[in-house]
């Protein structure tokens, strides 16, 4: 059995920078209490690494004076950031630059009197953060949500979660345009997410099955798995190599891809596991 890596996999730019900022904060401030405002990224192994460095996840009753709080890669609502700024804590902003750009757009259009529509998962940290910049915004999780809208104000704008699949975003945009041709459609999707999906499609042409490595609570990793499941007959979503089933070793060629929040070492461990021939 041979394995082939996708051309694009693992940490995206925003996640890598967030992890670097967190590691730097820990190394430069030994003995100081450090927290992240929510999970820094959506990967259990990465969060365990941060925990081992002394970085905990912020709780509502945590005393923050003289501590450091790292803002998660997905961003946070402005009200929460203001509260943290007034708490006596030093803030380290690890928000993905692309998410910051989306936040600025949401705030701009809200202040100009636009009805803001957000396309994405309403329970995702990025969407929750964006919503804080545009009170009264409407979250659309799928084209059906857009179809069910009775009317759309003349001054309306659509902003997408950076990791939403392009075809999903275009489908939602199309439904809105059919109701209001003048709606502004913002190009907020992360190019890396599209490249990751394209690399997966290319990989699927070369293998019999695909292993998707990443956290089960990672939205973009789950999207990769759904796509892989549609592209090949066999696909598996794993967090650790021990979860690889024996049937993988019965294939001639298996592909490996990984979500944007999957550490390099997680991918390397899967490669080592497959190379060892261990079948569980």
How would you write the pLDDT of the chain (280 residues) with one tens digit per residue? 899 999 999 999 999 999 999 999 999 999 999 999 999 999 999 999 999 999 999 987 778 988 999 999 999 999 999 999 999 899 999 999 999 999 999 999 999 999 999 999 999 999 999 999 999 999 999 999 999 999 899 999 999 999 999 999 999 999 999 999 999 999 999 999 999 999 999 999 999 999 999 999 998 999 999 999 999 999 999 999 999 999 999 999 999 999 999 999 999 999 999 986 555 4
CATH code of 13-96, in short, is 3.40.50.11270
pLDDT on residue 13:
94
The residue ranges of every structural domain in the chain are 2-11+192-276, 13-96, 98-185
Positions at the binding site: 12, 42, 74, 96, 124, 162, 190, 218, 220, 261
Contact yes or no for 123/166 (Cβ under 8 A): no
CATH top-level class of 98-185: alpha beta
Positions at the binding site for isopentenyl diphosphate: 42, 74, 124, 218, 220, 261
- Residue 171, both tokens: 């489908």
Positions at the binding site for [4Fe-4S] cluster: 12, 96, 190
pLDDT on residue 62:
78
Domain formed by 2-11+192-276, architecture: 3-Layer(aba) Sandwich (3.40)
**Residues labelled catalytic:** 126
Instruction: Say whether 13-96 and 2-11+192-276 share the same fold.
Output: no
């Amino acid at each position: 059995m041979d394995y082939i890596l996708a051309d694009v996999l693992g940490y995206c730019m925003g996640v890598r920078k967030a992890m670097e900022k967190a590691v730097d904060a820990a190394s430069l401030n030994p003995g100081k209490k450090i927290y992240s405002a929510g999970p820094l990224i959506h990967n259990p192994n990465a969060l365990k690494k941060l925990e081992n460095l002394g970085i905990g996840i912020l709780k509502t009753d945590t005393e923050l004076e003289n501590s450091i709080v790292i803002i998660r890669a997905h961003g946070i609502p402005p009200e929460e950031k203001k509260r943290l700024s007034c708490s006596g804590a030093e803030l380290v902003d690890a928000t993905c630059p692309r998410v910051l750009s989306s936040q600025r757009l949401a705030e701009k259009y809200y202040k100009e009197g636009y009805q803001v529509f957000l396309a994405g998962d309403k329970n995702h940290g990025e969407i929750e953060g964006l919503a804080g910049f545009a009170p009264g915004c409407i979250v659309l999780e799928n084209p059906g949500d857009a179809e069910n809208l009775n009317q759309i104000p003349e001054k309306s704008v659509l902003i997408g979660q950076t990791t939403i699949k392009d075809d999903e975003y275009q489908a939602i945009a199309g439904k809105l345009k059919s109701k209001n041709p003048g709606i502004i459609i913002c190009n907020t999707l992360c190019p890396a997410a599209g490249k990751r999906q394209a690399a997966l499609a290319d990989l699927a042409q070369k293998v019999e099955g695909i292993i998707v490595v990443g956290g089960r609570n990672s939205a973009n990793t789950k999207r990769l798995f759904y796509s892989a499941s549609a592209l090949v007959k066999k696909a598996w979503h794993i967090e650790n190599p021990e979860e690889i089933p024996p049937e993988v070793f019965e294939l001639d060629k298996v592909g490996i891809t990984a979500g944007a929040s999957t550490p390099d070492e997680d991918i390397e461990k899967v490669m080592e596991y497959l190379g060892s021939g261990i079948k569980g």
